[in-house]
Amino acid sequence: MTSQLAPTAAQSARAATGGRRRGRGVSQRRVRLLFLAPAALFLLLFSLFPLLQLLRMSVSAVTARTLNAEWLFTGLENFRRSFDGGEGTDALLRTGIFVLVVTTLGMLLGLAAAIALRTRGRWSAALLALMVFVWALPPVVNGSVWKFLLGDRGLFNMIVLELGLRDSPMPFLYSQYWALMSVAFVNSFAVIPFNALVFRAALMNIPPETFEAAALDGVNKWQEVRHVMLPSVRPTTLVLLVLTLVYGFRSFDFIYVMTYGGPGTATNTLPFLGYLQAFARYDFGLGAATSVVTVLGVLILAAVYARSIRREEAES
Amino acid sequence: MTPTTRSAPSLAARAASRATNTSERGSGSRNGRRRAVGLTASALAAALALAACGGGGGDGDTGGTGGGGEGGGTVTVWHYFSDDNQVRLMDEFAAKFEGEREGVTVENVYVPYDEMNSKVIAAAGSQTGPDVVVFNGAETATLALAGALAPLDDYWADYEDAGQFPDSVIHQVEDQTYAVQGYVNLLGLWYNAEILAEIGVEPPTTIEELEDAMAAATDAGYSGITLCGLPQGQGEWQAYPWLSAEGFTYDAPDAAALEAGLARVRGWVESGWLSQQAVTWDQTVPFQEFAAGGVAFAENGNWQMGTAESDARFEYGVVPLPLGADGQVYLGGEGQGIGAYSQNPDLAWEYLTATYLDAEGQLLPVEIVGSIPSRSDAAQDEMVTGNELLQPFAETIETYGANYPSPAIPPESVGDVQLTVGQAWSAALGGQQSPADAAQNVVGQLERLGG
């Protein structure tokens, strides 16, 4: 009896403990969900709903007349129109070039700045503060300043003309060949501080012993960068690369302020073309179709980003 | 029906008027200051009427009851002015209305120019929005078609001063009145009198004289001209006079005429008379360049009088743009309307009638900004007739005045057409496209848009 009772009591005790655990687990899940709810609701309202609206708009005929009325379903007609006349294709090509320049310059100069500012000190701190200031500047202000700097009587042309490098000002913002590159350069400049800060944080995590060991092995500065720093920041590089690609892909503000897509259509990238179609032509359906293509590009990159984050977490 | 339509008799009368005036200008009125100042008022009143659109009024099915009640309240006014003088005008209007109506507050809200339409339309989508909207009158159709403006027909039918306004400043869409302009803005040719005296030329009356003067100014080390080449509506507004001077119109778009217009101004860039940097300039920057000195001419508007007075440290003047027999200059300006979801449309209408539409109120833009009143009685005020700089603009209205936008453009295509032509203008000036390619592209697009 006792022998029978004992296990039963033990089972009951286990069951009771298990029940409490399960009860605690359920309650914990509820608490977690409760904490998750505001963020989920926020995302639902301000990300998912607009995205669904955008998708719906891209397959409908929506103009100023029908924006606040019923939207007529037109299938893929807007996508066909966007790319039929070559306007969308040209913008896609420009976006590709733009993203390439922004990503290359943003990553390389960001890493270079991080390496230069790796040390702790007064100058390093002052430069970092300046970079944070540049990063925090609203793009409209930043773009206006750069528009002035790149003008015929701006700083860069003053230097070029004073040094006698050219007879006439450089057409930074008004030549079809220069304009896209100039705006891409300014976009890169704006992303450098962020990239530098993230790279610097990764570099600061390298144990000092690693550098000491490398120094004992007699490595020079370049070898230190090549064989110590670069391998150490590789996971960060991948994440940052995806973020910079996304940043370049969705760039709009600087084009809006500095060239308005001009001269002609020379700096019309996909996001700016979508803006013109929706808010200058008031063909919201067409603008939405162009924007969906942009969003698709960003979503693909976002998926890569999420994957790389997971991998980095697993490795660490 | 288009927002502004020109009747056939108006066209004929304007053509006759233009023929008469062309001979007058040819006989020696070179700077606009020599003619009797008194001409300004009559020219304004007559020309605004001549360049008129289809009649106002009509039976609106919605709108307010007119009059408006007594008591307090707040009138929210959305505008896109950032220039100091224009902001001051908004403040003066607010002070005037608040002074006349006890307990009323006017709240002026700045919305960037490029965001105005989308914000007003988006607000209407959620059944909110301003009481009064001050917007680009040419874009009335965009706002009206989106249901963002309240029809003014009932108010207008009961408005005792309605007869003071020419049809060209009353914006209608599909037979309903949605906005009225309190003033008219248009382009003229500003010149630096000191540079012209130095190079020994008179203000030009023909396009050839203008080009000769720009060449002489450039030889003397000055810039020839500044204008706006931005690839959007502002660019189209500044391009149209030169394009129409070569025979281009929206009624019957001709690629050869358009190409000629684009090629002429591209030639100014190639000759060094006009900076290619113009493709990055809105309408404010080129006038600042002109006001800074060192530029012989500026294609810019009457609203720059305040800026010229405060910034230019040289003698300056204005003449009509030298556009020959075919040239046209848009009669633009801001339209004032009532938001479709205004909380108090009667009070909004009272604000409009006490400020923009009031005879005394219309003198404030004259004094502060240099705009031309739209009321015929206000146009005869000494402040207008005694202003020598306004006279060339009055002459321009009479000689070249054209409805803005062109009545030939379908209301739903106005934004598209303005962008298309603005981009072609910018592409030709910036060398992205040859004038021939840009012209072919525009005409193809216009055919598609039914313009």
For residue A199, the model assigns a pLDDT of: 95
The C-alpha atoms of residue A189 and residue A239 are separated, in whole angstroms, by: 19
**Helices A139-149 and A176-204 sit at what angle, rounded to 10 degrees?**
130
How many CA atoms lie within 13 Å of B352's alpha carbon, on the beta-carbon side?
32
List the alpha helices (DSSP H) in chain A: 2-43, 49-58, 77-84, 87-116, 122-136, 139-149, 155-162, 176-204, 208-216, 221-224, 230-232, 234-249, 253-258, 270-279, 284-315
Chain A contact for B238 (CB, 8 A cutoff): no
3-state secondary structure of B409: coil
Q: Which residues of B touch A94 (CB under 8 A)?
A: none
User: Encoding tokens for residue A255?
Assistant: 């084009």
3-state secondary structure of B192: strand
The C-alpha atoms of residue B95 and residue B77 are separated, in whole angstroms, by: 13
A265, B230: Cβ pair inside 8 Å? no
Q: Omega of the bond prior to B203 within 30 degrees of 0, cis?
A: no
B431, A263: Cβ pair inside 8 Å? yes
For residue A10, the model assigns a pLDDT of: 55
Q: Which residues of A touch B432 (CB under 8 A)?
A: 176, 262-266
**CA distances (Å), origin A221, targets A227, A229, B315, B365:** 10, 10, 64, 67
Q: Which residue of B has its CA nearest to A259?
A: B280
A280, B231: Cβ pair inside 8 Å? no
A282, B438: Cβ pair inside 8 Å? no
The C-alpha atoms of residue A282 and residue A260 are separated, in whole angstroms, by: 17
For residue B64, the model assigns a pLDDT of: 34
Q: Judge contact between B295 and B192, C-beta under 8 A.
A: yes
Q: Judge contact between B427 and A263, C-beta under 8 A.
A: yes
In a mutagenesis test of the A interface, which of B173, B409, B416 is the best target, namely the one with the most A β-carbons within 10 Å?
B416
What b/e string do you get for B73-105 counting C-beta neighbours within 10 Å, with b at 16 or more? bebbbbbbbeeebbeebbebbbebbbeebeebe
* Residue B427 distance to chain A (closest CA, Å): 4
The full DSSP string for B324-368 is TTT--EEEB-EEEEEETT-S-HHHHHHHHHHTTTSTTTTHHHHHH
* Residue A266 distance to chain B (closest CA, Å): 7
Q: Which residues of A touch B431 (CB under 8 A)?
A: 175-176, 263
**pLDDT tens digit at each of 451 positions of chain B:** 333 333 333 333 333 333 333 333 333 333 333 333 333 445 455 545 444 433 333 333 333 333 344 567 999 999 999 888 889 999 999 999 999 999 999 999 999 888 899 899 989 989 999 999 999 999 999 999 999 999 999 999 999 999 999 888 899 988 899 999 999 999 999 999 999 999 999 999 999 999 999 999 999 999 999 999 999 999 999 999 999 999 999 999 999 999 999 999 999 999 999 999 999 999 999 999 999 999 999 999 998 998 899 899 999 999 999 999 999 999 999 999 999 999 999 999 999 999 999 999 999 999 998 899 999 899 889 998 889 999 999 889 889 999 898 989 998 899 999 999 999 999 999 999 999 999 999 999 999 887 5
Q: Judge contact between B331 and B403, C-beta under 8 A.
A: yes
* Residue B141 distance to chain A (closest CA, Å): 9
Q: Which residues of A touch B146 (CB under 8 A)?
A: 64-65, 67-68, 282
The C-alpha atoms of residue B443 and residue A254 are separated, in whole angstroms, by: 31
B412, A282: Cβ pair inside 8 Å? yes
For residue A28, the model assigns a pLDDT of: 87
- Interface subset of B 393-422, CB within 8 angstroms of A: 412, 415-416, 418-419
User: Encoding tokens for residue A56?
Assistant: 């719906």
Chain A contact for B234 (CB, 8 A cutoff): no
Chains A, B: CB pairs < 8 Å? 112
The C-alpha atoms of residue A280 and residue B415 are separated, in whole angstroms, by: 6
Q: Which residues of A touch B229 (CB under 8 A)?
A: 262-263
In a mutagenesis test of the A interface, which of B236, B237, B426, B440 is the best target, namely the one with the most A β-carbons within 10 Å?
B426
Q: Judge contact between A105 and A188, C-beta under 8 A.
A: yes
Q: Omega of the bond prior to A263 within 30 degrees of 0, cis?
A: yes
- Interface subset of A 247-286, CB within 8 angstroms of B: 256, 258-266, 276, 278-283
DSSP state of B162: G
Q: Exposed/middle/buried for A94, CB within 10 Å: 0-12, 13-18, 19+?
A: buried
B121, A67: Cβ pair inside 8 Å? yes
The C-alpha atoms of residue A294 and residue A96 are separated, in whole angstroms, by: 11
For residue A23, the model assigns a pLDDT of: 67
Angle at A33 between CA A27 and CA A38, to 5 degrees: 140
Q: Residues with Cβ < 8 Å from B154, sequence gap 6 or more?
A: B60, B62, B63, B64, B65, B66
For residue B6, the model assigns a pLDDT of: 30
Q: Which residue of B has its CA nearest to A284?
A: B118
**Helices B255-270 and B435-449 sit at what angle, rounded to 10 degrees?**
140
How many CA atoms lie within 13 Å of B184's alpha carbon, on the beta-carbon side?
38
Residue of A152, A276, A282 lying closest to B275 (CB–CB) = A152
The sign of the dihedral angle between the CA atoms of B367, B371, B376, B382 is positive
> CA torsion angle for B277, B283, B286, B288 (degrees, to 10)?
-140
Q: Which residues of B touch A278 (CB under 8 A)?
A: 118
| E strand or H helix at B181 | strand B176-181
User: For chain A, which ranges sit under pLDDT 70?
Assistant: 1-23, 316
Angle at A153 between CA A147 and CA A159, to 5 degrees: 100
Chain B contact for A65 (CB, 8 A cutoff): yes
Chain A contact for B219 (CB, 8 A cutoff): no
Q: Judge contact between B428 and B262, C-beta under 8 A.
A: yes
Q: Which residues of B touch A151 (CB under 8 A)?
A: 277, 280
Closest CA to B318 of B236, B86, B329, B418: B329
| E strand or H helix at B76 | strand B73-79
Structural domains present in chain A? 85-315 (1.10.3720.10)
Q: Which residues of A touch B275 (CB under 8 A)?
A: 152
Partners of B77 in beta bridges? B108, B132
A67, B433: Cβ pair inside 8 Å? no
User: Encoding tokens for residue B28?
Assistant: 């020696």
B125, A68: Cβ pair inside 8 Å? yes
- Interface subset of A 122-151, CB within 8 angstroms of B: 147, 151
Task: Tell me the ipTM for this assembly.
Answer: 0.84
Q: Which residues of A touch B114 (CB under 8 A)?
A: 256, 279
- Number of C-beta neighbours around residue B410 at 10 A: 14
The C-alpha atoms of residue A179 and residue A175 are separated, in whole angstroms, by: 6
Chain A contact for B277 (CB, 8 A cutoff): yes
Q: Which residues of B touch A263 (CB under 8 A)?
A: 229, 231, 276, 279, 426-427, 429-432
Q: What are phi and psi of B107, to 5 degrees?
A: -110, 110
The C-alpha atoms of residue B275 and residue B263 are separated, in whole angstroms, by: 15
**Helices A234-249 and A284-315 sit at what angle, rounded to 10 degrees?**
180
Q: Which residues of B touch A69 (CB under 8 A)?
A: 147
Q: Which residues of B touch A258 (CB under 8 A)?
A: 280
DSSP state of B110: E
A260, B231: Cβ pair inside 8 Å? yes
The C-alpha atoms of residue B215 and residue B212 are separated, in whole angstroms, by: 5
Closest CA to B161 of B448, B356, B425: B356
Q: What are phi and psi of B361, to 5 degrees?
A: -60, -35
The C-alpha atoms of residue B203 and residue B212 are separated, in whole angstroms, by: 11
* Residue A14 distance to chain B (closest CA, Å): 58
